[in-house]
Amino acid sequence: MKLSIVIPVFNECGKIGRDVESASEFLLKSSFEGEVIVADDGSSDTTADEAQKNGDKYRGRIPVIVIRNRQHHGKGYAVRSGIMQATGDYVMFADSGGCVPFDNTLRGLELLKADKCDIAHGSRRLAGAHLIKDQGLYRHICSALFHWFAIRIMKLPTQLTDTQCGFKIYRGEVARLLYGQCETSGFMFDIEIIRRAIKQRYRIVEFPIDWTCDPDSRLSPTRSFWRILSELLKIRKAT
């Protein structure tokens, strides 16, 4: 079994070294064949160089691939560029910053290997989830409003509790198919992927995660409101 771990990044030079080490050590400890793919979305700092430097420590043991996108397009573009180069039987993406320990991947892989789903989503909202450091009240309110919008307006399945969690695992062929179709380059790519997956009858199951809030988020609900709304309207029309 081969697992590809994709880490999308934008100006994360202070975090990406630890991310590469954590992902690589997880693969080694779990005795998986695998690869770590860092997809740099046009960073203006030394993110890509830091990723490569830390990846070189695992040369001969874990392949660490650094994709250097010259321009900044958005998180969806970065995730897509990484997944389309992934060769694993299973493919996942994890947000930078170590919000979710990579050991949690085993929970999702169990569901996939038992053929209970085609896509396993980490969720902070399920029973059994352990929130080590939670979001503040403002982000909780924004998250609740977005969830209502996603279920009612975007017509997502009501059983999905945490569509925007940055910790998702796919069967490799399913990931490459869906992301090959994905048109959204911004933060709302998750919604497009879910809508396309449901339309093509892929099974999505959530699993609880251990999560620590990273206050250094690249998404501001207030500043990004109109961009998010525009992306969602385009997704609804395209899917």
- Tokens of residue 134, six digits: 């939670």
What CATH number is attached to the domain comprising 53?
3.90.550.10
- Side-chain-side CA neighbours of 168 within 13 Å: the count stands at 25
| Domain around 126 | 2-238
Encode the chain in three state secondary structure. CEEEEEEEECCCCCCHHHHHHHHHHHHHHHCCEEEEEEEEECCCCCHHHHHHHHHHHHCCCCCEEEEEECCCCCHHHHHHHHHCCCCCCEEEEECCCCCCCHHHHHHHHHHHHCCCCCEEEEECCCCCCEEEECCCHHHHHHHHHHHHHHHHCCCCCCCCCCCCCCEEEEEHHHHHHHHHHCCCCCCCHHHHHHHHHHHCCCCEEEEECEEECCCCCCCCCCCCHHHHHHHHHHHHHHC
pLDDT the model gives residue 153: 81
Evaluate if residue 21 carries a pLDDT over 70. Answer: yes
If you average pLDDT over residues 217-239, what whole number do you get? 76
pLDDT the model gives residue 230: 86
Q: Number of structural domains, the chain?
A: 1
> Exposed/middle/buried for 31, CB within 10 Å: 0-12, 13-18, 19+?
exposed
Q: What is the pTM of this model?
A: 0.92
Q: How far apart are CA 97 and CA 16, in angstroms?
A: 7
135-175: pLDDT as tens digits: 655 565 676 777 677 777 888 999 999 999 999 999 999 99
pLDDT the model gives residue 228: 83
73-95: pLDDT as tens digits: 999 999 999 999 999 999 999 99
